[in-house]
Structure 1
Amino acid sequence: MTTQADAGFTGSADSTGSTGSVGFADFVEGPRGVPLLGNLPAFGKDPLAFFELLRDRGDFVRWRFGPRPALFVAHPDNIGELLTEVESTFDQPDLGIAIRTLLGNGVVVAKGRDWRRKRSLVQPSVRPKQVRSYAATMAECAVALADSWSDGQRIDIKKEMAALTQLIAVRTIFGADTAADAEAIGRAMDVAQQEIGAELSGIGALLPDWVPTPGRARIKRATAVIDAEVARVVSRHRDGEEDRPDLLSRLLTARDETGAHLSDREIRDETVTLYVGGHETTSSTLVWAWYLLSRNEAVRRTLTEELDRVLPDHEPGYDDYASLVYTQAVVKETLRLYPTIWLLTGIAKEGATLGGTPIPAGTRVWSSQWSTHRDPRWYADPETFRPERWLTDEEGRPAEEIPEYAWYPFGGGPRVCLGTRFALVEAVLVLAALARRYDLDVTAPEIRPVPSLTLQPDREVLATIRTRSRGRERE
């Protein structure tokens, strides 16, 4: 049987990247798939390479996610349309049983009126004023880690950054200060993230929710651990004072326009969502930043020169953030090359268009930060780690003219990640606190990204700590 969405899939955008008035029947045909599974085997084998292959075929490329018709968009203009029109002509897709098991119906998963209500309740907790209050905790945790390191010590950066960002998340979200809180939730979150990645790119993506699999069972067990920890901390908060400065306390006291509080289940869902956003994304970004700095001595030198200038005699704080221009550029360039969120999708509603072309209702439209961020049309030397591309001259002119939505590691439009400011401030302050005192020399010649819930290294990221001489003189 041919569906309405099936009927439109034949075609090609022109090779110049133009998004002019092509017809839907002219979109590029993607690689040939296999019966029933479509392009899922190729996608599951290497999702990042698959999206690069689609990008190189054109700005609109049709493919099949299993038996379902799908459309890949590569041009920033169309990506912007997709992101800004979510909740109007594009719908938030069902993200699958694995993600729903972990996040419940939190603000990332919710739709329509429910999403708007939850966003209005969560957003005040992560506004710039509130992020300022969390910055001291971020810096204190980073400085404590720096104090525990020593010259010549061998570490696994992935483990060190995960433990650090877990501790920051637990303190800022829960107000808790015990290692047990961070360790229990962190271990469970690692399991959940790995299984979500496996489900997303494997046959599990096509299975009905009711089909049991070993991976789904592991996610349920991990989520049970997370739920127990969250319930324990929520109970402790409700038995204490209500004016604590952590995110959980703000969620507990938040009221919607009717005066209603979030339910216990909603508190759980939003807390876990904030934890994933505040820990997983920043941890991954920091790991990739250290890896890139270790492979680019000139960039590392420029970074430390800025840190010596801006932080000559003190640890970084929120008031230093604006002055750490190159450090911000390092983080931004890291997110370009290794975006923690590596794909976004939407479902076309009736009347949906992209580039002026009607998109049949029900079509699942995909975009990939990984492929867009490495597109040579938008970036000179796209595979090169070059933070300078994000700097501006004295008159405010950018070093490179980069189109809007050619960089979108946190999404965009109405559903842009609420924790964007939190994540950027945390990454910059942590990197500054550690890099002003140490260089980390990564020994592995090449580390490849593995797409799961976020982009993770494919192995341990082992490094040798080298104390910087100026850092030693300052202490």
Structure 2
Amino acid sequence: MSTETGPAVGTPAREYRIVPGPRGLPFLGSLLRFGQDPLAFFGRLRSYGPMVSWRFGPNSCVFVSDPECVGELLSETERSFDQPALGIAFRTVMGNGVVVARGADWRRKRSLVQPSVRPKQVRSYASTMTDSTVELADGWSDGDRIDVKREMAALTQRIAVRTIFGVDTPADAESMGRAMDVAQREIGKEFAGLGAVLPDWVPTPGRARIRRASAVIDAEVARVVARHRDGGEDRPDLLSRLLTAVDEKGARLSDREIRDETVTLYIGGHETTSSTLVWAWYLLSREPRVRAALAEELDRVLGDREPGIEDYARLTYTQSVVKETLRLYPTIWLVTGVAKEGARIGGVPMPEGTRVWSSQWVTHRDARWFPEPEEFRPERWDPESGDDVPEYAWFPFGGGPRACLGTRFAMVEAVLVLAVLARRFELVVDPGVVNPVPSLTLQPDRDVLATVRRR
């Protein structure tokens, strides 16, 4: 698939203007409609035009959906747009990690975290990804009935615990995993409900649950950090790299900063990949043609051996399956920023304080960039014969200076896991439509049950 290079930021190729969207209710604006179904609501906003005004509670908002405008929003983050103030649930779990930090604090943290997830480092984690998946595959038998969500979550938890924390006991994965599951649910509920506009001091049952889950996460991270420091040996895991990282002034991350960054990496390495794999199995189960093409590549490239990092570049169709899954069910389903003084998008001034939104869900399903957008067609990613789309028509990991640091890690993990399992098995997912529920990631609205069939 090729990507066109758009015009430079600040020189829009077309003339844009803000059109009024839904009027909403006093004080609440369109908060209730958004909370009922955020994805459908964003789709309705797109029907008004590429740049639409609306209100989220008391906040003035603009929704943009064209790739050109999306690119400006992402590229101008930090310079023209601030990170928005996120809900108390999100802040309680994520702390002030690189995803949340701003300005000089963000630049410092990014410089310290980024070396841990560079391609060279991801290569060193690939064998853990493959070995963990082989362990799972060895436990499956023809005819087994499995819960795909549970299996993929357990697998990616195991990989995350091993690569990030360098530990390998079930208790380490399970306690952290249970707390993270609670955290994800509560973040999603808060964001889509009235909790998004309630003051931090208002007590709610959900906020009590998030505090308890965060306490478990804090204790688990502190225990593993102490184990690393007491051990004294050189370890290859991500946590060890964070513990030894120094900034330009020779300072290291504090204990709190270590906690925030490891949680951020854990969520990026577990939640996003787990969700992507569930949706991939769901889509593959419904497209025999795609399953056959995937099996052909795996047989041709791998034969009877397991994949390694050296196979990643050759598994082009497997990569396309993952990319097409991320197009239809992007793990990050919205991006947003708060306009600073002088901010513009598409040549249109954004008043200071305006919250500008965009959604991968909407742009990824635009027929102008993706013919037959609802169809699962990995071939559209073929570099020679695929569709030509503008830059930022596909942005499942965000983009610009705040693009997800774990993009390479997530892509390699998803491709290797899929290669190990799909080389041996097909998963026949039970009939019925599975709908996405916007949470921290896009989660299925029900259990995804399947029958394991050996190829």
TM range (shorter): over 0.9
State the TM-score, normalized to the length of structure 1.
Answer: 0.92
1:419 and 2:392 correspond: no
CA distance in 2, matches of 1:205, 1:268: 25
Equivalence for 1:471 = none
Amino acid at match of 1:442: V
CA distance in 1, matches of 2:410, 2:150: 18
CA distance in 2, matches of 1:20, 1:205: 35
CA distance in 2, matches of 1:167, 1:147: 15
Structure 1 residues 301 and 455 mapped into 2: Cα distance closer, same or farther (>3 Å)? same
Among 427, 435, 441, which residue is 1:448 paired with?
435
CA distance in 2, matches of 1:54, 1:209: 29
Equivalence for 1:230 = 221
C-alpha displacement of 1:304: 0.5
1:268 and 2:259 correspond: yes
CA distance in 2, matches of 1:346, 1:430: 34
Q: Does the 8 Å contact 2:87/2:195 carry over to 1?
A: no
C-alpha displacement of 1:242: 4.2
Give unmatched runs, 5+ long, in structure 1.
Answer: 1-17, 469-475
Q: Does the 8 Å contact 2:330/2:442 carry over to 1?
A: yes
Q: Does the 8 Å contact 1:374/1:383 carry over to 2?
A: yes
CA distance in 2, matches of 1:442, 1:399: 28
Equivalence for 2:164 = 173
Show CA shifts across 1:406-456 (max 9, x none). 100000000000000000000000000000000000003110000000000
Q: Does the 8 Å contact 2:112/2:242 carry over to 1?
A: yes
Q: Does the 8 Å contact 2:81/2:338 carry over to 1?
A: yes
Equivalence for 2:152 = 161
**Identity rate of aligned residues, in percent?**
73
Equivalence for 1:191 = 182
What is the DSSP-based 3-state SS (H/G/I as helix, E as strand, rest coil) of the residue aligned with 1:62?
strand
Show the 5 A alignment for 1:42-441: 42-393=33-384, 398-441=385-428
CA distance in 2, matches of 1:37, 1:356: 29
Amino acid at match of 2:142: D
C-alpha displacement of 1:19: 6.3
Equivalence for 2:14 = 20
State the TM-score, normalized to the length of structure 2.
Answer: 0.96
Give unmatched runs, 5+ long, in structure 2.
Answer: 1-11
Equivalence for 1:473 = none
What is the DSSP-based 3-state SS (H/G/I as helix, E as strand, rest coil) of the residue aligned with 1:262?
coil
What is the DSSP-based 3-state SS (H/G/I as helix, E as strand, rest coil) of the residue aligned with 2:231?
coil
Once the two structures are overlaid, the 10-residue window that deviates more, 371-380 or 412-421, is 371-380
Show CA shifts across 1:242-279 (max 9, x none). 42000000000000001011000000000000000000
Equivalence for 2:8 = none
Q: Does the 8 Å contact 1:444/1:461 carry over to 2?
A: no
CA distance in 2, matches of 1:415, 1:77: 17
Q: Which runs of 4+ in 1 moved over 2 A?
A: 18-22
Equivalence for 1:15 = none
What is the DSSP-based 3-state SS (H/G/I as helix, E as strand, rest coil) of the residue aligned with 1:436?
helix
Q: Does the 8 Å contact 2:21/2:52 carry over to 1?
A: yes
Q: Does the 8 Å contact 1:444/1:462 carry over to 2?
A: no
CA distance in 2, matches of 1:449, 1:432: 24
CA distance in 2, matches of 1:402, 1:210: 46
Amino acid at match of 1:20: R
Amino acid at match of 2:433: E
C-alpha displacement of 1:145: 0.3
C-alpha displacement of 1:403: 1.0
Higher relative CO (Cα under 8 Å, sequence separation at least 6) belongs to 2
CA distance in 1, matches of 2:272, 2:375: 22
CA distance in 2, matches of 1:56, 1:189: 36
C-alpha displacement of 1:155: 0.1
Among 26, 41, 46, which residue is 2:32 paired with?
41
Amino acid at match of 1:72: F
Amino acid at match of 1:270: E
Q: Does the 8 Å contact 2:80/2:339 carry over to 1?
A: yes
